[in-house]
């Protein structure tokens, strides 16, 4: 088995240490470890993190291989420092049966860039009417534990209640895309000052907040845990904070773009800024950063949503919603949370690896950087500064809102069970 | 002047007054036996209409023809657009045929802005109404009508609408006419009040440079012009108001209400009117209602806009006088 010595990296942002990888495992962490026959990675000034885990990725396969495949998506993940991604269920066909989730899982294993943990649909066809065979998906080779109709809200209160209850039998969790459908008919952007001026249909904050309020109360009532996808408003933060103070078992995620971008950008009518939930206001952005720092929001998840060029090169109303995010996530988090002093690197390790792995029950991921643990690791150069160039993306799609924007930090190495999937910034 | 006309908010006071003054020059052409200027001879203008709008399209077409432009009418219905062609491809196809200006009407807010700023085409873009966003030539023709009626045809030249009190009544939420008018009237120094049921006022209206009232009767005596917006009957199905009759009672303009307006005040409507809904026949057919004038003025305003965006540096007046010799 091959050995790799990462020399002089600041583990979780702490003191410089050497980390020796032997085969699939971390063999030792210390100072002045002998290199022996190991390949040496000089990592002075770099930050070593546990491999990042994304609880919210759209890999698009099966069905929309023109925008992303499991191969291109996991290469993008490895480029961004991820060693595990949770693939959302809104594919064609929908991942609502054991067959589909096993296919996606196996593709991930075959390609080997990143572990792919499929998410199962809560309801058949994401239609919100009939529970999918959640138990069968859990018992399949894919071992599904996270269920979501993401892209659509499980808006029927009875279906949501039953799903929350049912998955308790095998430790599952329902990840809710909180969007009251009637309040968001024809919605194109955040409802507020900017939508009033631009004449674009409003997506009011209350459409998210009312569902979150209902779902935390349902989770309390039936004694289940619930996860909130891409929380985007200051009001949602208040509800989750209140729920946690009551002891309700709720976890929540925020996307990198909601930590940085606001609805002012929509004034360009450039659909690269069209996303669901929509970009909100500066006040929301600040509340989300604060909530991620104090732990009210548990994790960062990318909601990586690839779309082909033609679906964005058009008028706003005709454009698809979503942004790619895997390859810029860590840079945006460094920019918005670390460089602002809100979160240290140990905090980043928690929000982007430990906590998402725990919520999704991703075995072998989100583990401490210490001897005997699986060697899932990400090495970051925090001093790097550079403009985002989508032409260099490993993703098949280029719909990033950051093109040309200077962002800090760069993932130089990613190790998946001891094997470099990214080496000196290049995919293996 | 700017290169395109996308939003009334982009116009400075001086731009707007120049357009209004130029439109007065253009209006004189309409009074002549031969209503034609050679200004845009050899230039091609396409009317690219993705939404049905016979009146606006005909108004632009009349303006273009009076300026001697070559006119192409493109209606999205029955075209390749209905077969899935993108806005970008449609626009590039037209430009490849040598179009100098695109007059676009589109159901999606921001479509003209995209057309003008995405590097798809080089032609001048004139917004003829986009979604619930803007309809700048409508706002200009409304301002033109107000200036003529409230300041005077000759006295108004070079003037704005400083101090005039304008009330806009109806479905503000879904109205590009209301948005354009608020922007332009504010730029021209007028004081604007929007009147509507709260359901038909957008969230975020607080940042608009105008007042908002839910009570029509108290606003009428303080109005120099009252602009009634069309209210589509379908809106009541989405619970914006309970019934057509209740809407009419609370927000419709009838003879009794019109009597509460100052004597000099005018009633305006961008058309098409829904008689019996937002306006009664008595008001619509009265001498205080400017709806027919607005249509005539629309041609003059569109001539002025086309001339200023496409005509180059020579003044329209010079052309007019050359013709007269």
3-state secondary structure of B225: strand
From the CA atom positions of chain B, what is the Rg in Å? 20
Question: Contact B202/A315, CB-based, under 8 Å?
Answer: no
The full set of domains in chain B, from first to last, is: 8-134+295-324 (3.40.50.1370), 136-291 (3.40.50.1370)
Residue-wise over B222-255: b if at least 16 C-beta within 10 A, else e?
A: ebbbbbbbbbeeebeeeebbeebeebbeebbbee
* Residue ranges of chain B with per-residue pLDDT less than 70: 1, 77-83, 312-325
Q: To the nearest whole angstrom, how far is the Cα of A216 from the nearest Cα of chain B?
A: 27
Q: How high is the pLDDT of residue A256?
A: 98
> B-chain residues within 8 Å CB-CB of A317?
107-111, 131
CA distance A303 to A125: 20
A110 Cβ neighbours under 8 A, 6+ residues apart: none
> A-chain residues within 8 Å CB-CB of B208?
196-197
Hey, which residues of A are catalytic here? Answer: 303
Interface probe, candidates B105, B106, B110, B194, chain A, greatest A C-beta count within 10 A? B110
CATH architecture of A51-360: Alpha-Beta Barrel (3.20)
Question: Contact A200/B203, CB-based, under 8 Å?
Answer: no
Summarised one tens digit per residue, pLDDT across range A320-362 is: 999 999 999 999 999 999 999 999 999 999 999 999 999 999 9
CA distance B235 to B231: 8
Nearest of A302, A328, A325, A323 to residue A312 by alpha carbon: A323
Q: How high is the pLDDT of residue B312?
A: 59
Question: Contact A269/B204, CB-based, under 8 Å?
Answer: no
Here the tokens at position B26 are: 């253009």
Here the tokens at position A170 are: 């095998």
Taking any CB pair shorter than 8 Å as contact, residues of chain A touching chain B are 188, 191-200, 202, 204, 268-270, 310, 313-318
Mean pLDDT by 10 residues, chain A (428 residues): 92 97 97 94 98 98 97 98 98 98 97 97 98 98 98 98 98 98 97 98 98 98 98 98 98 98 98 98 98 98 97 94 98 98 98 98 97 98 98 98 98 98 96
- Quick one: CA dihedral B67, B68, B70, B74, positive or negative? positive
In DSSP terms, which residues pair with A413 in a beta bridge?
Answer: A379
3-state secondary structure of B220: helix
The domain segmentation of chain A, as residue ranges, is 3-47+373-427, 51-360
Q: Establish whether domains A3-47+373-427 and A51-360 are of one fold.
A: no
Of A193, A310, A315, the CB nearest to B114: A315
CB B132 within 8 A of CB B255: no
| Interior angle at CA A214, CA A212 and CA A215, nearest 5 | 65
Of B111, B117, B204, the CB nearest to A196: B204
Burial of residue B134 (CB within 10 Å: 0-12, 13-18, 19+) is buried
CA distance B273 to B292: 11
Q: To the nearest whole angstrom, how far is the Cα of B207 from the nearest Cα of chain A?
A: 7
First to last CA, chain B: 29
Question: Contact A193/B204, CB-based, under 8 Å?
Answer: yes
> A-chain residues within 8 Å CB-CB of B178?
none
- Closest residue in A to B107 (Cα–Cα): A317
Fold for the domain defined by A3-47+373-427: Urease, subunit C; domain 1 (2.30.40)
3-state secondary structure of B260: coil
> A-chain residues within 8 Å CB-CB of B132?
199-200
CB atoms within 10 A of CB B100: 19
Helices of type H across B118-272: 136-150, 176-187, 216-219, 244-251, 255-258
Q: To the nearest whole angstrom, how far is the Cα of A11 from the nearest Cα of chain B?
A: 45
> B-chain residues within 8 Å CB-CB of A197?
179, 204, 207-208
Do β-strands B165-169 and B225-228 pair in parallel, antiparallel, or remain unpaired? Answer: parallel
Taking any CB pair shorter than 8 Å as contact, residues of chain B touching chain A are 86-88, 106-111, 113-114, 117-118, 130-134, 176, 179, 202-208
Question: Contact B176/A191, CB-based, under 8 Å?
Answer: no
CA distance B1 to B10: 10
Q: To the nearest whole angstrom, how far is the Cα of B248 from the nearest Cα of chain A?
A: 25
CA distance B301 to B171: 25
Q: How many Cβ contacts (< 8 angstroms) between chains A and B?
A: 78
In DSSP terms, which residues pair with B267 in a beta bridge?
Answer: B226, B289
Q: Tell me the residue length of chain B.
A: 325
| Interior angle at CA B303, CA B127 and CA B27, nearest 5 | 135
Nearest of A212, A221, A130, A229 to residue A173 by alpha carbon: A229
Nearest of B116, B117, B118, B119 to residue B127 by alpha carbon: B116
Summarised one tens digit per residue, pLDDT across range A81-129 is: 999 999 999 999 999 999 999 999 999 999 999 999 999 999 999 999 9
In DSSP terms, which residues pair with A49 in a beta bridge?
Answer: A378
> B-chain residues within 8 Å CB-CB of A281?
none
Interface probe, candidates B81, B202, B208, chain A, greatest A C-beta count within 10 A? B202
| Interior angle at CA B313, CA B312 and CA B316, nearest 5 | 90
HSE at residue B20, side-chain half, CA atoms within 13 A, is 32
Q: How high is the pLDDT of residue B215?
A: 97
Question: Contact A199/B134, CB-based, under 8 Å?
Answer: yes
Q: How high is the pLDDT of residue A196?
A: 97
- Closest residue in A to B115 (Cα–Cα): A315
Q: How high is the pLDDT of residue B323?
A: 41
Of A193, A197, A269, the CB nearest to B113: A269
Phi, psi at residue A314, to the nearest 5°? -160, -175
Question: Contact B109/A314, CB-based, under 8 Å?
Answer: no
Do β-strands B211-213 and B191-195 pair in parallel, antiparallel, or remain unpaired? Answer: parallel
Question: Contact B179/A268, CB-based, under 8 Å?
Answer: no
CA distance B174 to B199: 11
SS3 readout for chain A: CCEEEEEEEEECCCCEEEEEEECCEEEEEECCCCCCCCEEEECCCCEEEECEEEEEECCCCCCCCCCCCHHHHHHHHHHCCEEEEEECCCCCCCCCCHHHHHHHHHHHHHHCCCEEEECECCEHHHCCCCECCHHHHHHCCCCCCEECCCCCCCCCHHHHHHHHHHHHHHCCEEEECCCCCHHHCCCCEECCHHHHHHCCCEECHHHHHHHHHHHHHHHHHHCCCEEECCCCCHHHHHHHHHHHHCCCCEEEEECHHHHHCCHHHHHHCCHHHCCCCCCCCHHHHHHHHHHHHHCCCCEECCCECCCCHHHCCCCHHHCCCCECCCCCHHHHHHHHHHCCCCCCHHHHHHHHHHHHHHHHCCCCCCCCCCCCCECCEEEEEEEEEEEECHHHCCCCCCCCCCECCEEEEEEEEEEECCEEEEECCEEC
- Closest residue in A to B119 (Cα–Cα): A313
> What is the residue-wise DSSP string for B64-121?
HHHTT-EEEEEESTTSGGGGT--HHHHHHHHHHTT-SEEEEEESSTTHHHHHHHSSS-
- Closest residue in A to B180 (Cα–Cα): A197
CA distance A306 to B202: 32
Question: Contact B131/A199, CB-based, under 8 Å?
Answer: yes
Q: To the nearest whole angstrom, how far is the Cα of A213 from the nearest Cα of chain B?
A: 22
Nearest of B180, B259, B251 to residue B223 by alpha carbon: B259
Tokens 């060693």, residue located: A83
Summarised one tens digit per residue, pLDDT across range B158-175 is: 999 999 999 999 999 999
Question: Contact A196/B205, CB-based, under 8 Å?
Answer: yes
Do β-strands B101-106 and B211-213 pair in parallel, antiparallel, or remain unpaired? Answer: unpaired
Q: Tell me the residue length of chain A.
A: 428
pTM (two decimals)? 0.94
Question: Contact B87/A314, CB-based, under 8 Å?
Answer: yes
Interface probe, candidates A186, A196, A203, chain B, greatest B C-beta count within 10 A? A196
Question: Contact B203/A310, CB-based, under 8 Å?
Answer: no
Q: How high is the pLDDT of residue B233?
A: 78
> What is the residue-wise DSSP string for B236-251?
GGGTSSS-HHHHHHHH
Tokens 């632009």, residue located: B60
> A-chain residues within 8 Å CB-CB of B203?
191-192, 195-196, 202, 204
Annotated binding-site members of B: 55-56, 83, 105, 135, 138, 176, 230, 271-272
> A-chain residues within 8 Å CB-CB of B181?
none
HSE at residue B40, side-chain half, CA atoms within 13 A, is 28
> A-chain residues within 8 Å CB-CB of B131?
199-200, 317
């Amino acid at each position: 088995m091959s050995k790799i010595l990462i020399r002089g990296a600041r583990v979780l942002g702490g003191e410089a240490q050497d980390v020796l990888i032997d085969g699939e495992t971390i063999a030792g962490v210390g100072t002045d470890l002998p290199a022996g026959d190991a390949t040496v990675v000089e990592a002075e000034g770099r930050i070593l993190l546990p491999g990042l885990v994304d609880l919210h990725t759209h890999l698009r396969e099966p069905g929309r291989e023109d925008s992303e495949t499991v191969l291109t998506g996991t290469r993008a993940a490895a480029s961004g420092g991820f060693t595990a991604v949770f693939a959302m269920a809104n594919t064609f066909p929908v991942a609502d049966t054991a067959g589909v989730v096993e296919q996606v899982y196996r593709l991930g294993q075959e390609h080997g860039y990143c572990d792919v943990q499929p998410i199962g649909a809560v309801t058949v066809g994401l239609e919100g009417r009939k529970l999918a065979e959640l138990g069968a998906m859990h018992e399949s080779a894919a071992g599904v534990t996270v269920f979501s109709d993401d892209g659509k809200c499980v808006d029927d209160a009875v279906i949501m209640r039953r799903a929350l209850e049912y998955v308790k039998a095998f430790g599952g969790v329902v990840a809710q895309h909180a969007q009251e459908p009637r309040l968001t008919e024809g919605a194109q952007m955040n409802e507020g000052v900017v939508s009033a001026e631009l004449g674009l249909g409003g997506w009011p904050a209350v459409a998210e907040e009312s569902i979150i309020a209902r779902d935390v109360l349902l989770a309390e009532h039936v004694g289940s845990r619930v996860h909130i996808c891409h929380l985007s408003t200051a009001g949602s933060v208040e509800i989750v904070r209140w729920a946690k103070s009551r002891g309700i078992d709720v976890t929540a995620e925020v996307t990198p773009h909601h930590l940085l971008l606001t609805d002012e950008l929509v004034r360009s009518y450039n659909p690269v800024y069209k996303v669901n939930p929509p970009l909100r206001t500066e006040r929301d952005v600040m509340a989300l950063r604060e909530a991620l720092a104090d732990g009210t929001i548990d994790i960062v998840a990318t909601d990586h949503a690839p779309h082909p060029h033609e679906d964005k090169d058009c008028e706003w109303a005709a454009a698809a919603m979503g942004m790619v995010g895997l390859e810029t996530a860590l840079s945006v988090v460094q920019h918005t949370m670390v460089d602002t002093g809100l979160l240290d690197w140990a905090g980043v390790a928690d929000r982007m690896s430990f906590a998402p792995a725990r919520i999704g029950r991703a075995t072998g991921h989100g583990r401490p950087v210490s001897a005997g643990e699986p060697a899932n690791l990400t090495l970051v150069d925090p001093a790097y500064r550079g403009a985002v160039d989508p032409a260099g993306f490993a993703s098949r799609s280029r719909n990033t809102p950051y093109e040309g924007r200077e962002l800090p930090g760069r993932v130089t190495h990613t190790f998946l069970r001891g094997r470099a999937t990214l080496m000196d910034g290049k995919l293996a | 002047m700017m290169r395109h006309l996308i939003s009334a908010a982009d116009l400075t006071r001086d731009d707007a007054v120049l357009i209004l003054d130029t439109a007065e020059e253009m209006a004189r052409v309409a009074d002549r036996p031969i209503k034609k200027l050679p200004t845009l001879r050899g230039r091609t203008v396409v009317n690219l209409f993705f939404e049905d709008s016979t009146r606006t399209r005909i108004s632009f077409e009349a303006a273009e023809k009076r300026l001697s432009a070559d006119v192409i009418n493109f209606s999205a219905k029955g075209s390749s657009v209905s077969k899935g062609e993108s806005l970008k491809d449609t626009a590039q196809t037209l430009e490849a045929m040598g179009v100098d200006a695109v007059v676009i009407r589109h159901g999606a807010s921001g479509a003209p802005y995209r057309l003008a700023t995405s590097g798809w085409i080089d032609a001048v873009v004139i917004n003829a109404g986009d979604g619930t966003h803007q309809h700048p030539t409508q706002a200009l023709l409304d301002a033109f009508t107000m200036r003529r009626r409230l300041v005077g045809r000759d006295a108004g030249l070079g003037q704005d609408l400083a101090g005039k009190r304008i009330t806009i009544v109806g479905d503000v939420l879904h109205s590009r006419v209301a948005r354009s008018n608020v922007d332009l009237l504010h730029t021209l120094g007028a004081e604007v009040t929007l009147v509507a049921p709260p359901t038909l006022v957008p969230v975020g209206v607080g940042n608009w440079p105008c007042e908002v009232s839910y009570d029509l009767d108290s606003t009428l005596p303080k109005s120099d012009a009252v602009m009634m917006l069309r209210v589509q009957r379908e809106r009541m199905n989405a619970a914006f108001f309970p019934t057509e009759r209740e809407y009419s009672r609370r927000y419709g303009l009838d003879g009794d209400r019109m009597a509460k307006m100052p004597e000099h005040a005018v009633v305006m409507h961008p058309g098409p009117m829904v008689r019996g809904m937002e306006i009664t026949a008595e008001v619509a057919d009265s001498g205080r209602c400017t709806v027919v004038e607005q249509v005539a003025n629309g041609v003059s305003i569109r001539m002025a806009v086309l001339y200023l965006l496409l005509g180059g540096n020579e003044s329209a007046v010079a052309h007019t006088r050359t013709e007269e010799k």
